[in-house]
Structure 1
Amino acid sequence: MSLTDVKLDAKQMQGKKVEVSGVLITMGDMAMLGDSPFSTNRLFVDNKKLSREERKYILENCEGGCSITVRGKVGSVMLNDGIIADAIATQ
């Protein structure tokens, strides 16, 4: 599913499983998924449920942006619509 579709339909999709590919950027404990490294069209990603290895990969590789697929449920992340991640796949 595209990131734009999730953003547009997030309210109707609350609790539904999605798989979205894009560029993940981290800033401290925050993670945001966009279409490109410079995109302002982003979704917040809650990565607390990911495995230790997946969180480590994100910390080590995604500060400046990394291509990734996020699987999880649409929900509230940092008071915004976002994805509560269950798993990631690197590209």
Structure 2
Amino acid sequence: MRKAGFVVLFLCSIGTAYADQIATLGDGRQVLLKDDGTYQIQPSAPKEHETASYADLKLVDLKVDIKELEGQRIRTLGKGMYVGDMFMLTDPATAFDMNGIAVDISKVPREMRKWIVTNCATGCRATVEGEVRSDIHGFMPGIMADTVRGR
């Protein structure tokens, strides 16, 4: 009789041993694995650039005031050109702008960089959000991009 009671107690504890668990996928998303066999993708915490506020700034104003804007988080629109391993933002109203702004895209998510490589070799309209820095590519002022979106 004691064996039967032990077996019943053991079988009852098996159901409680399986509790909901959280698994992390290869892309960083988290999934709640429920004990009933279903799952639910968890909302992710916003990344820094998703919660940061950006000052809207015309490209010409960025060019004129770039030294004073160091450290500011800005959003600007321009014509992007991807040449070599550099992304430059130029005035879309000018046919040939020799005074582009350097944009460091090294911290931009892969899919955004892929969009740039695919669409901006001959020019694309793009909105860039990021921080104005004096040391883009180690020697020039420009934008350390958080996001680049096509227009």
Distance 1:63 1:38 in 2: 15
Structure 1 residue 20 corresponds to structure 2 residue 76: yes
Distance 1:80 1:65 in 2: 21
For 2:143, give the aligned amino acid.
I
More strand by share: 1
Contiguous gaps of at least 5 residues in structure 2: 1-56
Q: Is the 8 A contact 1:18 1:71 kept in 2?
A: yes
- The aligned counterpart of 2:58 is 2
The answer to which structure, 1 or 2, has the higher relative contact order (CA under 8 A, 6+ apart) is 1
Shift in Å, 1:9: 1.1
Distance 2:64 2:128 in 1: 17
Structure 1 residue 55 corresponds to structure 2 residue 113: yes
Shift in Å, 1:81: 1.1
Structure 1 residue 82 corresponds to structure 2 residue 142: yes
Higher mean alpha-carbon deviation, 3-12 vs 16-25, is at 3-12
Q: TM-score scaled to structure 1, two decimals?
A: 0.94
The CA RMSD over aligned residues, in Å, is 1.1
For 2:110, give the aligned amino acid.
R
Aligned residue for 1:7, secondary structure, equals helix
For 2:148, give the aligned amino acid.
I
Structure 1 residue 73 corresponds to structure 2 residue 131: yes
Shift in Å, 1:3: 1.0
Q: TM-score scaled to structure 2, two decimals?
A: 0.58
What are the Cα deviations for residues 41-60 of structure 1, in whole angstroms up to 9, with x where unaligned? 21000000100000000000
Total equivalences in the alignment: 91
Q: Is the 8 A contact 1:7 1:81 kept in 2?
A: no
For 2:144, give the aligned amino acid.
I
Runs of 4+ deviating beyond 6 Å: none
For 2:150, give the aligned amino acid.
T
